Structure 1
């Protein structure tokens, strides 16, 4: 049995689906699943590789939530491994800057599964594409600090997100920023085991992934974080490559020709088992950048914006659509 299959089986043993139930380990027991009919879908707010997301109202509590339908169209053997990973990870994660999984609900068929998530009014990709002027530097610092706090929490719990990008960063109307979409996230341990390098959206993909390393650490999230910081400041993507070769070329243009002084290129399979050392989330939080003027504004002082996601006229056909969502 291969790695993916064995991991899938382990997760399935922890998350056993029974008719009318979604059983999880005792410390995160959900009990009997509610029906999705108890939620009123208000509008569609997004679509990704792993499912469609709706803004919905819980008819029992009147709470507005995000309802994510798990995509099952290519599955023959139950719930996709990516969704099982997302469920099991989010059930154990509780942090103000990580999107909250409230419960799992079911549709008319056992294969129809929805994740009920905390609702955020904005995603940063939509904001950047619709804002007439960029965020101020104080506002950027406020956003980045919150993302770094969430990342520090993930990394302390040995979880790599593996798909950080502006479209996966959500913001409430109260200025709270939350990292979302954990379909590619993985728990890791020591020693680090090989993983596929085909992760992270191209524009945010670290050079070691582009050059074929299968050993992944929190460094790949930190590279993406740097790209996001630059994008928020410049109001445009930092490295908008059109292919992996073009992406590597853009990185070289920005950072210079690779050398052993800045990249351990001789250790990577296309050049490695040794990942590139990179600042940690804690390093970022302690950076003097956030102590210099202009100081980060408080989340409550962030401006509010029109809810662009609630005005989508037509669904996207893939996660790759949109100028900030390249695959």
Structure 2
């Protein structure tokens, strides 16, 4: 966190990790800067400028300041978000995603720790280091991204107050998906048997979709939305635009307005402050 001495505005500084780079700035940082300079949307974090410190290794992105990230909030909240508040959060995420997709950008690292929230309840998608532009025909992209089935998992985590698919490895992750959604096959996912690794790994036989058992209290519209987000067949999976039109957001409890979201203690600031106090105490010891 920093203060702009010209405008007196509080901003966030994100240091570019150089990590022994010999050929200039890392490609992920260049992509993030290039994309963020083009993007302007209330639910996308704002890049104000790029500044250089005393050394070329000290390069910082100056960004709009958000008081919280959702991961810290979920970890520290004494009472979980209400369903109306969950709807408010996920609607903003979907609006940001719709804007990105309309501009041919995929984020590829959506998770609660990359969703920031201001004290006025405005949710902003952040961390575009893995984001890429796409077009037709699609260009090859590395499959080594971190976050899988992002929007559906975020909604489910907010509703359940814990991660939906906490896999400890890729194989474990696949097994948890099969336990929850059933074993994929050609009927529900045409072309599944032709996937490169489909014949190299035997999935457990599990014929049922267990979303309703995991969320027994959720309305039919809510379950329908989750199911559309978790469709195995990419052609049937809901887009951000589809989700925004879901009847789930039109039924009670209705989404609360962002301005009516509760405010929270600044957990990140507390953590930094306590670390600073500990460091000062250590320096003061004789």
4+ residue segments displaced more than 3 Å = none
State the alpha-carbon separation in 2 of the partners of residues 314 and 197 from structure 1: 37
CA positional deviation for 1:200: 2.6
Contact 1:120 1:171 in 2 (8 A): yes
Per-residue Cα deviation, 1:212-261 (whole angstroms, up to 9, x for no partner)? xxxxxxxxxxx210000000011000000000000000000000111122
- The count of corresponding residues between Structure 1 and Structure 2 is 239
State the alpha-carbon separation in 2 of the partners of residues 263 and 251 from structure 1: 14
Q: TM-score normalised to the size of structure 1?
A: 0.71
State the alpha-carbon separation in 2 of the partners of residues 230 and 263 from structure 1: 22
Query: Which residue number corresponds to residue 253 of structure 1?
Result: 179
State the alpha-carbon separation in 2 of the partners of residues 85 and 275 from structure 1: 29
CA RMSD of aligned residues (A): 1.5
Query: Which residue number corresponds to residue 235 of structure 1?
Result: 161
State the alpha-carbon separation in 2 of the partners of residues 262 and 183 from structure 1: 33
Contact 2:119 2:263 in 1 (8 A): yes
Contact 1:174 1:299 in 2 (8 A): yes
Please state if 1:178 is matched with 2:124: yes
Bigger radius of gyration: 2
State the alpha-carbon separation in 2 of the partners of residues 279 and 71 from structure 1: 35
CA positional deviation for 1:148: 0.2
Match of 1:114, SS? strand
State the alpha-carbon separation in 2 of the partners of residues 63 and 189 from structure 1: 38
Query: Which residue number corresponds to residue 103 of structure 2?
Result: 157
Query: Which residue number corresponds to residue 202 of structure 2?
Result: none
Query: Which residue number corresponds to residue 61 of structure 1?
Result: 7
State the alpha-carbon separation in 2 of the partners of residues 275 and 101 from structure 1: 35
Contact 1:168 1:180 in 2 (8 A): yes
Query: Which residue number corresponds to residue 87 of structure 2?
Result: 141
Contact 2:189 2:233 in 1 (8 A): no
Contact 1:134 1:234 in 2 (8 A): no
Which of 281, 286, 289 pairs up with 2:245?
286
Query: Which residue number corresponds to residue 92 of structure 1?
Result: 38
State the alpha-carbon separation in 2 of the partners of residues 260 and 133 from structure 1: 43
Which of 166, 173, 195 pairs up with 1:268?
195
Query: Counterparts in 2 of 1:1-327, with a 5 A limit?
Result: 55-201=1-147, 205=148, 223-264=149-190, 265-271=192-198, 276-277=234-235, 278-312=237-271, 313=274
State the alpha-carbon separation in 2 of the partners of residues 70 and 185 from structure 1: 16
State the alpha-carbon separation in 1 of the partners of residues 249 and 275 from structure 2: 39
Q: TM-score normalised to the size of structure 2?
A: 0.81
CA positional deviation for 1:282: 0.1
- In proportion to residue count, which structure has more strand? 1
State the alpha-carbon separation in 2 of the partners of residues 246 and 314 from structure 1: 36
Contact 1:143 1:177 in 2 (8 A): yes
Query: Which residue number corresponds to residue 37 of structure 1?
Result: none
